[in-house]
Chains A and B, each alone.
Chain A
Amino acid sequence: MKIVVLVKAVPNPTGTPEIGEGFRLKREGVELALDPGDEYGVELGLQLAEQTGGEVTYVSMGPAGATAAVRRALSMGGDRAVLVTDPALAGADALATARVLAAAVGRQPFDLVIAGAESTDGYTGTLPMAVAELLGVASASFARRVELRDGAIRLERQTADGYDVVECPLPAVLTVTAGVASPRYPTLKGIMQAKQKPFEQLTVADLGLSAEEVAATQTVERVDAAPERGRGELVQDAGDGAARIAEFLAEAKVI
């Protein structure tokens, strides 16, 4: 089975993100890491490849500094990586990103494309579906359990009140939630091997896309600090904490 996992380098989640010129996320001097939400998709991709004797290709779009983050996925396992990096993509919006990813995925035959549902890009749930539409394949999002059955995918898809069981033919694009698999840690051997694996860097022109097709359709006009909620009363519980909360609930007229 030929599996593609979409991965993304994000500013190190433990740092404080900063906004730079043109209201873009400041990436200079900011350490980029593999989006923690992507590791679940990586793990699922590796498990399915192991089950089927298949292979895993990582596809990513990002600045040149994203290579280390993508290599982290390679150190968990998998066969090769493709990073689309191009100054023309700075400030790319969802449409441009979907076009780039679909073009990069579509360069070779594939059975399954996996992406994290919990990505920090803000397009949670929509971007991989746009990729599926551009590739002309089936899709399902927010899968929390995935299995191969009779050449199709059977998955549990999150809903507001529980889950649906969905049967999805291949090829397909799936997004997965944190519960889908427990990501493995890269081993020392894996880290060494990752350095030898094919790692291709492509530009927008390499993908046959025009500058117009990847031009942003959105312009950030302003960024403001959100109104802060004030810090209220803080008490140390000395046996009276519960009584104070009950009093508060009574004042709020909910008890």
Chain B
Amino acid sequence: MTTVWVYAEVGADGRPEPTALELLTKARSLGDAVAAVALGPGARAAAPALGEHGAQTVYASEDPVFAEFLAEPAAHVLAGLIAEHRPNLLLFAATYDSREVAGRLQARLGATLMANATDLPAPDRAVTQIFGGTRVVEVALGGPDPKLVVVRPKSFAAEPSGGTADVVEVAADVPEGLRRARRVERHEERAAGPKLEEARVVVAGGRGLGDEANFDLLRQLADAIGNAAVGASRAVVDAGWVPYALQIGQTGKTVKPDVYIAVGISGAIQHRVGMKEAKRIVAVNKDADAPIFEIADLGVVGDALTVVPALIEEVRRHRG
């Protein structure tokens, strides 16, 4: 029997993160027994949705210690649960919080950890992409169970299976010495409109926009299109034009919209890995040799500052 667990991040409002449902969907095809571990406020309320996506059991704790302190309490409690129940495989999403927990847990267990996975052909095999997604690598995972695999968001589509989960309460016996790095404030920098990961259309800008002020053109374009979000390349995030929360690429977000519109983005492999799975790609760039055109379904060689304002007008006219 193969037991697969998913470390499920949940919001305080009881909504599981989309990645938790993606991973559970995949876990169903990998194991006979599937469980989710949800730690922190909202855990119990999230159990029905986790069950609906394949968790037969949800190990849950509502203790605020997991939200207040980074990684260590979660890794500690997970290690205890693993010693008791001995799962074969534990899946994490490649999010800020989960990566910290996975790294700590690996060291504690002496287990193998595969990061940045995009698929799992079997419970002891993972696939990842290297060199900006130009090569696909399949890796056999050895060492003691559980194997730890950190999966990029959107690697799998979440599909409900209609199941229900038994909720097992987990005691949050976290020693004082593991309550160290503490969150004291939370800040949102997200723009209005749909989330970058959920929008049907993503309009992303890069250096080719020339100036921070021109980024506003992309916001106007997104508004005109509707159900569209604005993203950015690492170059303009590093330059401080827009917050990191907008960054798309290897170290930023992975998006899979219906249409991705890249404006003034050259298309370095680190950027492409975060957007190449878009259904359709449109690129606008002054440089006809920009690598982004290699993967664009429609490429327009031209000045973003001419094309984008004209496009806003065209879209508005189309929408009447």
Contacts and interface: CB of A to CB of B under 8 A. Distances in A.
B90 to A, nearest CB: 13
A217 B138 CA distance: 14
B171 interface: no
Contacts of A231: 293-296
A17 interface: yes
Contacts of A246: 311, 314-315, 318
B315 A255 contact: yes
Contacts of B314: 242-243, 245-246
Nearest to B114: A218
Interface stretch (B52-60, B94-102, B156-164): B94-102
Interface in B264-320: 276, 279-282, 284, 288, 293-303, 306-308, 310-311, 313-315, 318-319
Contacts of B238: 178-179
A187 B50 CA distance: 56
Interface in A182-222: 216-222
Contacts of B200: 254
A158 B139 contact: no
A239 B300 CA distance: 11
A61 interface: no
A94 B224 CA distance: 46
B299 A233 contact: yes
A184 B204 CA distance: 30
Interface in A111-136: 117-118, 122-134
Contacts of A162: 186-190, 243, 245
B299 A234 contact: yes
Contacts of A122: 115-116, 128, 130
B264 to A, nearest CB: 13
B135 interface: yes
B136 A224 contact: yes
A166 B299 CA distance: 43
B301 A237 contact: yes
The interface size bin for chain B is 35 or more
B86 interface: no
Interface in A233-255: 233-237, 239, 241-246, 248-250, 252, 254-255
Interface stretch (A46-54, A62-70, A73-81, A137-145): A137-145
A241 B261 CA distance: 13
Interface stretch (A26-34, A82-90, A167-175): A167-175
B225 A133 contact: no
Nearest to A136: B177
A235 B259 CA distance: 18
Interface string B121-165: 000010011110111111111110000001000000000000000
A217 B142 contact: yes
A144 B244 contact: yes
A20 interface: no
A254 B295 contact: no
Interface in A10-33: 17, 19, 23
A133 B100 CA distance: 10
A213 to B, nearest CB: 9
Contacts of B253: 160
Interface string B67-101: 00011100100000000000000000011100111
| Residue among A122, A169, A172, A233 facing the most chain B CB atoms (10 A cut-off) | A122
A128 B194 CA distance: 33
A243 B313 CA distance: 9
A226 B136 contact: yes
A19 B135 contact: yes
A232 interface: yes
B187 A221 contact: no
Contact of B137 (A131, A164, A222): A222
A244 B298 contact: yes
A124 B190 CA distance: 23
Contact of A248 (B108, B180, B190, B282): B282
A124 B115 contact: yes
Contacts of A125: 94, 96, 99-100, 103, 115
A157 to B, nearest CB: 7
A55 interface: no
7 contacts: A124-B94, A125-B100, A160-B95, A162-B190, A164-B183, A232-B299, A246-B311
Interface of B: 70-72, 75, 94-96, 99-108, 110-116, 125, 128-131, 133-143, 150, 180-190, 200-201, 225-228, 234, 237-238, 240, 243-245, 250-251, 253, 258-259, 261, 276, 279-282, 284, 288, 293-303, 306-308, 310-311, 313-315, 318-319
The 4 closest A-B pairs by CB, nearest first: A237-B302, A129-B103, A242-B310, A125-B99
Interface of A: 17, 19, 23, 93-95, 98, 102, 117-118, 122-134, 138-142, 144, 157-169, 172, 177-179, 216-226, 229, 231-237, 239, 241-246, 248-250, 252, 254-255
Given A125-B100, A241-B300, 12 more contacts: A132-B104, A168-B70, A220-B138, A225-B136, A231-B293, A232-B297, A233-B297, A233-B299, A236-B301, A237-B302, A242-B308, A248-B297
